[in-house]
Structures are given as C-alpha cells and as structure tokens.
Structure 1
Amino acid sequence: MDKKRILLIDDDELITMSLEMIISAEEDFQVVGKGNSGKEAVKLYDELTPDILLMDIRMADMNGLEAAEVILGKYPDATILFLTTFSDDEYIVKALKLGVKGYLLKQDYKSLPVALHAAIDGQSVFGGAIVDKLPALMNKADNPGGFNYQEKDITEKEYEVIQLVAEGFSNKEIAQKLFLSEGTVRNYLSTILEKLELRDRTQLAIFYLKN
C-alpha cells in the first residue's frame, strides 16, 4: 500500500516533532517534509507535491493563509489542512473562502489521524469548536458588513423568500419557484415580518436591499 505523503509546517519545532510522531504511528501516512514558515511551505510544496499539507496559520515571514493562497493558485487541487491554536472568526472565514479542506485546533490533536483520513477521502474536516461557529460565519461571509439574519432566527428557506420578495415576485411566483403552496408562502411571509418587526412586503424589500 502506498503511503500518503504529509508535509508539516509549524513555527514551533516541538509541535512539529509531536505531530510527526502522531502521524508516523499511522501505517498509511508518512511525513516527507517539515518547515517553519509560509515561505517554506510554498517552497517545499513545489519540491515535494505532498498528498496533504498540514500547516499552522500564525507564522512569521509569511502566514499560513498567505501560503495557502499561493499554493492553491498554482495547485487548485491541493489538500491543505490548517492546524492552529486560534479559532478567530476572520481566519476561519478566510480559510473557507480560500477553499482549504479543513480547519482544526491543536487541542484536538487526538482526532488528527481521523481528520487526515477524511481529507484523503475528499471530505472537508473541521474541529468541533469550528463546526459550532460555521452557520454564523457563513452568514457573515454571505453578508459582509450587513445584517445577520441568523440572529433573528431567519431560516434558509425564509431567507430565500425574502430574496424573492425583494426581487419583486408575487406569492404565486415565489410558490412556483420554491415548490411550495401559496398558503405556505403567506405563512412564511407572516413569520418573517414578525421576526424582523416589519409591517409589509414593501418594507421587507426595502430592508433587504438596505442590508
């Protein structure tokens, strides 16, 4: 069986050594390179073309996000996992936008072998603390600087209704587009207006366009 080749990048040598021990204990993985900066990540990725790049974010010289952007620009199918101490919302959103395959926290190191196997199988992997944040972060990513509909308990389907109302569609047209009955659309609209404390669909359309 061919072992999957892992490149490790972290500016803490002790962490790199620990990760190498954890990964090497798995019979189907091998560490083929190690580095301590984003620039080294780019250089070593070019030289080694590993199956997975496991990389920290906060590093001197060039951070992990910057390195990932360079690597994915050149190798769009690269499998990159971030392993970091920081669950900053800004980092997570940037990582998602870049298209990395995972974002894990170092305190979840015990789940690393499982995450690596999942990534090899083409799955996206996120630590438990990150998963809890994803719905709110995706809302922010879709509405940068705008109103956070999730804070008002607006569901995905309700948000679709809001968008269609703002585009000028009637209840009948919305029902056809969303494969709903007109009565269901009216119920959605009534619930939305109540949640957002608005009077009618005109106010709703204006509210959406402003936000």
Structure 2
Amino acid sequence: MKIVIVDDDCLVTEALKTILQINGDVEVAATGIDGEDACRLYRQYCPDVLLMDIRMKGMNGLEASEHILQEYPEAKILLLTTFLDDEYIVKALRLGAKGYLLKQDYASILPALQAVNLGQTVFGKEIVSKIPDLIRKEEKFDYSSYGINEREQEIIRLIADGYSNREIAAELFLSEGTIRNYLSAILDKLQLRDRTQVAVFYYQHR
C-alpha cells in the first residue's frame, strides 16, 4: 500500500512514517507540510491512500481534499485531527473523505489505512458517537422566518464552504457587486457583523 503523509508538524510526520513503515505492507512515498503539497504530491504519486492533517497553515486539509476529490473523485483520503469539531466532521462527510480519526489514537491509524484502501469508510469511535446527533442537526432550518430567500441561502452555504465573493460570483454567474449586495442583505436580516459569523450561523443551524 503506497501512501502520502501531509502534516505541518514534522515530528508527527516522522513518527507516523516510522510507525507505519514498520509494517512491511506500507510504503510512504512522500511527505508534505500543507494542502498545496497534498495536491501536488497526489498528482505526482497517485497514492492508494492520502493521510492528511486538517489544521494546517495556508491551504488546510479540508480545502485540499475538496480540490483533490474534484480532480480525482476516486481518491481515498484519511483525515487526521487533534480536534473533535462538529464543523470538521460535517465537512469531511460532505466532501467524501474516506475517514476521520483523532491523531492521538495512533493504534487505529494503520487498521484505518488498510480499511480505507479496501474501500471502506472509517471514523474513530469518538466521532462515530457524534454522528447520530449530527444527522439530527441536518433537519432543514427555516430561513424564511428571517426573510432569507433561496438565492441568499445558496450564498450562505457557499460562504460557509469558504468561498470568496469572487468565487461565489463565478459559481452563480453573478457580478461581485451583486454578491456584496446580497451579503449586506444577509448580514442585515440575520443581524450578524461579518461573513465569519454567517459561516458559524450556517453550521449552528444545520
């Protein structure tokens, strides 16, 4: 099994590389330190599994996963984090990542890699216990009670996904000025200060 490891903590990367290569079935083809490395190394090595941290400087693991899965829909990505964060779990599920584990659970990483390589989806036990609550939160929130129309809902979702005004404009075939007007209206209706609060509001009401 050929893997690529991407983590901005070099000590973690080396520890993972050492632990995993003790098993003769694992070849660590390359390592990287950020999401841009992940995209580049995936294209270069086409690993069986990409093992990647979520929180990294610059392009993070979720952003890199999105780019890679758009280009390689069959990519197998196993995400690692030290944070048991609902927002990360939801995004990982939506993006199509094949696994989400806590870094602290070193003993589970090799079995998880093997399972993902076989096409399974793997989540750590701490994460599995949260999934039912996350599913219940998926009940549709009534934005109409705030006077938010369908177009504004779409823009809220894209903001929560990390899109800039320019990217939203390109996605919806609108001008940046129009998107700024929509954003001003959204902030006013929801009584929020900025786009970060819009993203937080979105995930709190999913």
1:84 aligns with 2:81: yes
TM-score by length of 2: 0.67
Deviation of residue 121 (structure 1)? 1.3
CA drift of 1:27 comes to 1.2
Q: Is residue 93–residue 138 contact of structure 1 (8 Å, CA) maintained in 2?
A: no
Aligned twin of 1:104: 101
Rg larger for? 1
Q: Distance in 2 between matches of 1:144 and 1:74?
A: 30
Equivalent in the alignment of 2:23: 26
Structure-2 separation of matches of 1:99 and 1:73: 10
Which position in structure 2 is the counterpart of 1:143? 139
Kindly state the Cα deviation for residue 70 of structure 1 after the two structures are TM-superposed.
0.2
Partner residue of 1:56 out of 48, 53, 58: 53
Residue 139 of structure 1 deviates from its aligned partner by: 2.1
TM-score (norm 1): 0.66
Aligned-pair distance for 1:138? 1.9
Query: In 1, Cα distance between the equivalents of 2:135 and 2:70?
Result: 23
1:145 positional shift: 3.8
2:126 counterpart of 1:129 = yes
| Unpaired segments ≥5 residues, structure 2 | 143-205
Q: How far apart in 2 are the matches of 1:144 and 1:114?
A: 36
1:104-134 Cα deviation digits (max 9, x unpaired): 0011111111111111111111111001001
Residue 144 of structure 1 and its aligned partner are, at CA, apart by 4.8
- The superposition leaves residues 65-120 of structure 1 with CA deviations (integer Å, 9 ceiling, x where unpaired) of 00000000000000000011011000000000001000000111111111111111
Q: Detail structure 1 runs of 4+ shifted over 4 Å in the superposition.
A: none
Aligned to 1:196: none
Correspondence 1:63-78 to 2 at 5 A: 63-78=60-75
- Percentage of identical aligned residues: 54
SS at match of 1:26: coil
Aligned residues of 1:83 and 1:103 also touching (Cα < 8 A)? yes
Count of aligned positions: 143
